[in-house]
Each structure stands twice: as structure tokens, then as C-alpha cells.
Amino acid sequence: MSVDLQTVKRVARLARIAVSEEDAERMTGELNAILGFVEQLNEVDVSGVEPMTSVIPMEMKKRQDVVTDGGKAADIVANAPATEENFFLVPKVVE
């Protein structure tokens, strides 16, 4: 499988990365080189093989459903580019 310029632009949109026409053209070549490389996986017979879900067999760890952390809103917003009263500020999303 290979990708064309339109697909690259669509994927960039999905990934939320702005790309120029020039970027998209360069990426088309690069992505096709990588997709060409991974193509060989199709020759592997995987009938009856489960997809891996955990590399080390282990039981999912569980813990009591209680509050163990919190009360640190100021810490959480401390690194944000724009905040107001412990809220993250973003451009207007609803009219």
C-alpha cells in the first residue's frame, strides 16, 4: 500500500499537524519508504496467532476505588501557557 498527497494531508489533519504543500510532498515520499519497508509483514503466516496484548503475562493490577491524590490544582496548571484561576485558557470554542 502507498499513500498519495491527499492522504498525507488527511492524515496530517487527523494528527493535528499543520503541513505546507512542500512538507506534504516530502512526507509522501518518506511515508511511502516506510510503508514499503513494513509491507514484508504480509508474507508472515499469522493464522491462529493472537495479537499481543501484554508482553509480560501479568494480572491487571487493581486498587481500592478511593481518592489517593488530588487537591493540587495549582500544580497542575503551573506549566500551562495560559491560565486563569486554575483553569486552562483556550481560544473560544463555542459561540
Phi, psi (rounded to 5 degrees) for 22: -65, -45
Q: Which of 21, 22, 52, 95 binds other proteins (CB under 8 A)?
A: 52
C-alpha cell at 91: 481560544
Rounded Cα–Cα distance for residues 79 and 87 (Å): 12
Q: Which of 6, 34, 73, 86 binds other proteins (CB under 8 A)?
A: 34
Helix (H) or strand (E) holding 63: none
Output the smallest distance, CB 40 to other proteins, in A. Answer: 6
| Residue appearing with cell numbers 495479537 | 51
58 binds other proteins (CB under 8 A): yes
Beta-bridge mates of residue 88: 83
Q: Do 77 and 68 contact (CB within 8 A), yes or no?
A: no
Q: Which is nearer to other proteins, 25 or 78 (CB)?
A: 78
70 binds other proteins (CB under 8 A): no
Residues that bind other proteins (CB under 8 A): 1, 3, 7-8, 11-19, 27, 30-31, 33-35, 37-42, 44, 46, 49-56, 58, 60-61, 63, 72, 75-82, 88, 90-93
